[in-house]
Amino acid sequence: MDNFVYNIPTIAYFGKGQINVLGETIKTHDGSKVLLAYGGGSIKRNGIYDATLEQLRKADLEHVELSGIKPNPRIESVQEGINLYRENNCDFILAVGGGSTLDACKAIAAGVKYDGPVTDLFVNESGVSDIAAAAPLATILTMAGTGSELDMGAVITVGEDHKKKVLMHPLLNPKFSILDPEYTYTVPEHHSMAGVADILCHLMEQYFTPEVHNTKVQDRMNEGVMKVVIEDAPKILADPQDYDARANIMWASSMALAGFQFMLGKPGFPFPLHGMGHELSSMYDMTHGHTLALLTPSWMRYTLLTAPEHLPVFARFARNVMDVQEADDAKAAEAGIKKLEVFYASIKMPASLRDADVKQEDLEVMAEKAVERGNLGILTSIGKEDALQIMEDAF
Distance CA 200, CA 256 (A): 8
Minimal distance, residue 199 CB to a second copy, in Å: 11
- Burial per residue of 89-126, b for 16 or more beta-carbon CB atoms within 10 angstroms, e otherwise: ebbbbbbbbbbbbbbbbbbbbbbbbbeeebbebbbeee
Window contacting a second copy (CB under 8 A); options: 52-60, 103-111, 245-253, 353-361: 245-253
Among 17, 47, 117, 188, binds a second copy (CB under 8 A): 17
Distance CA 18, CA 139 (A): 12
Beta bridge partners of 63: 34
- Please, which residue, 221 or 283, has the CB nearer to a second copy? 221
Distance CA 315, CA 310 (A): 9
What residues numbered 208-237 form the site for a second copy, per CB under 8 A?
Answer: 214, 216-225, 227-228, 231-232
Tell me the residue length of the chain. 395
- Please, which residue, 100 or 218, has the CB nearer to a second copy? 218
- Please, which residue, 181 or 350, has the CB nearer to a second copy? 181
Minimal distance, residue 320 CB to a second copy, in Å: 9
Among 16, 331, 354, 359, binds a second copy (CB under 8 A): 16
The contact pattern for a second copy, residues 176-205, with x = CB under 8 A and - = no contact, is -----x------------------------
* Residues binding a second copy: number (CB under 8 A): 42
- Please, which residue, 13 or 122, has the CB nearer to a second copy? 13
> Going by C-beta distance under 8 Å and a sequence separation of 6 or more, which residues neighbour residue 255?
150, 225, 261
Q: Report the Cα 337 to chain-centroid distance in Å.
A: 22
Minimal distance, residue 2 CB to a second copy, in Å: 7
- Please, which residue, 10 or 129, has the CB nearer to a second copy? 10
Among 144, 172, 200, 247, binds a second copy (CB under 8 A): 247
184 near 142, Cβ under 8 Å? yes
Minimal distance, residue 50 CB to a second copy, in Å: 21
Window contacting a second copy (CB under 8 A); options: 53-61, 186-194, 247-255, 374-382: 247-255
- Please, which residue, 80 or 149, has the CB nearer to a second copy? 149
Q: Is residue 389 close enough to count as binding a second copy by CB under 8 A? A: no
Q: Is residue 241 close enough to count as binding a second copy by CB under 8 A? A: no
Minimal distance, residue 168 CB to a second copy, in Å: 17
Q: Is residue 377 close enough to count as binding a second copy by CB under 8 A? A: no
Minimal distance, residue 368 CB to a second copy, in Å: 37
Beta bridge partners of 263: none
Distance CA 135, CA 267 (A): 30
Cα separations in angstroms, 252 against 133, 235, 347: 29, 15, 17
- Please, which residue, 222 or 303, has the CB nearer to a second copy? 222
147 near 257, Cβ under 8 Å? yes
> Going by C-beta distance under 8 Å and a sequence separation of 6 or more, which residues neighbour residue 359?
none
What residues numbered 251-310 form the site for a second copy, per CB under 8 A?
Answer: 251-252, 254-255, 264-265
- Please, which residue, 9 or 40, has the CB nearer to a second copy? 9
Cα separations in angstroms, 116 against 112, 131, 187: 10, 12, 37
Distance CA 313, CA 333 (A): 9
Cα separations in angstroms, 310 against 313, 362, 376: 6, 30, 16
Minimal distance, residue 11 CB to a second copy, in Å: 5
- Please, which residue, 102 or 255, has the CB nearer to a second copy? 255
Minimal distance, residue 10 CB to a second copy, in Å: 8
DSSP-assigned letter for residue 357:
T
Query: Of the candidates 327, 269, 15, which has an alpha carbon nearest to the alpha carbon of residue 140?
Result: 15
Distance CA 239, CA 256 (A): 24
- Please, which residue, 323 or 368, has the CB nearer to a second copy? 323
Give the interface with a second copy as residue ranges (CB under 8 A).
1-8, 11-18, 181, 214, 216-225, 227-228, 231-232, 243-244, 247-248, 251-252, 254-255, 264-265
